[in-house]
């Protein structure tokens, strides 16, 4: 099969970074980047994954599965953001605080191995049009974004993954679980676990793949695409509330959001009053 233009451009960027460490969260962007980098030069590529309550268990499982299948040199790290009150308070720039801890921990881990490697992220050109304070943390630490440098957006990433026959090619976007909490709603491992359970229940009952159980203080707002809203009935809402309360009793109510799913909703409303 002839390599796609996107794949060739990506490989050209990676060739300029012969010693690299790929930050892999378990989403399609980072899984594809890690795979391409490793296949291009296994000896020059290390893959790093953070094990944290903010990363869904399914994402960590995908990373471990891909590492075993591809033979990655995989390192895991604990990024430590849950030890920082600035992160737990969930300010508007929470992603900056989180990525600062993440990239510092990954850089320290890789440096301890005795090699100077460039840390790479899976950010693509579509991310540049969204509110992404984590990109500031990346810039401050010299993290490189090969997709951005190659002019590749989300569709291009999926095209690369599909061309390589990767299982993640059609994986729905799923940022960290903390992105489900409205600004000002405290971040706790228990709350994030409840979110993970709630979203799994919606998918189990309805088959909907893109779902967000956003939490604002003690209320859950279920977000799905406009064409899927009719599938989230009272039975589903009750199941979500019951399942999430089993994990986090502080959750009191749940409802289908008045608006359809849209990325970044948790940043848009007035922060929860503390």
Measured in degrees and rounded to the nearest 5, phi and psi for residue 42 equal -65, -40
Spatial contact of 166 and 38, defined as CB atoms under 8 Å apart: no
Q: Does 114 score more than 70 pLDDT?
A: no
pLDDT confidence bin for 194, thresholds 50/70/90: very high
Considering only 50-59, 78-87, 256-265, which range has the smallest mean pLDDT?
Answer: 256-265
Q: Is the pLDDT of residue 2 over 70?
A: no
Do the domains at 5-170 and 177-267 have one common CATH topology?
Answer: no
- CA-nearest of 61, 159, 150, 143 to 110 is 143
CATH number, domain 177-267, options 3.30.250, 1.25.40, 1.10.3110, 3.30.70: 3.30.70
Spatial distance between the Cα atoms of 28 and 23, rounded to a whole number of angstroms: 12
Cα–Cα distances in Å, from 12 out to 75, 128, 237, 261?
25, 21, 48, 36
Tell me, what's the pLDDT at 113? 65
pTM for the whole thing?
A: 0.93
The fold of the 5-170 domain, in CATH, is Rossmann fold (3.40.50)
Please tell me the distance from the alpha carbon of residue 81 to that of residue 230, in angstroms, as a whole number: 38
Domain boundaries, the chain: 5-170, 177-267
């Amino acid at each position: 099969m002839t390599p796609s233009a996107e794949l060739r451009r990506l490989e050209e960027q990676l060739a300029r970074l012969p010693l690299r460490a790929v930050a892999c969260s378990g989403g399609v962007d980072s899984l594809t980047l890690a795979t391409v980098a490793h296949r291009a030069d296994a000896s020059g590529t290390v893959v790093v994954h953070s094990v944290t309550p903010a990363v869904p268990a399914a994402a960590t499982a995908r990373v471990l599965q891909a590492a075993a299948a591809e033979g990655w040199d995989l390192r895991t790290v604990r990024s430590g953001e849950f030890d920082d009150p600035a992160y737990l308070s969930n300010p508007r720039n929470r992603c900056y605080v989180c990525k600062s801890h993440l990239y510092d921990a990954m850089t320290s881990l890789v440096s301890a191995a005795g090699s100077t490697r460039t840390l790479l992220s899976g950010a693509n050109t579509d991310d540049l049009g969204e509110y992404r304070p984590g990109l500031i943390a990346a810039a401050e630490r010299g993290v490189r974004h090969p997709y951005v440098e190659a002019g590749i957006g989300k569709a291009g990433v999926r095209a690369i993954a599909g061309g390589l026959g990767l299982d993640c090619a059609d994986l729905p976007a799923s940022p960290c679980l903390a992105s489900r909490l409205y600004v000002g709603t405290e971040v706790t491992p228990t709350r994030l676990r409840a979110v993970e359970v709630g979203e799994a229940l919606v998918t189990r009952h309805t088959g909907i793949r893109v779902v967000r159980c956003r939490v604002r203080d003690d209320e859950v707002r279920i977000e799905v695409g406009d064409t899927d809203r009719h599938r989230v009935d009272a039975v589903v809402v009750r199941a979500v509330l019951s399942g999430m309360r089993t994990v986090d009793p502080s959750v009191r109510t749940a409802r289908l959001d008045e608006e359809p799913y849209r990325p970044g909703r948790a940043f848009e409303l007035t922060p929860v009053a503390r």
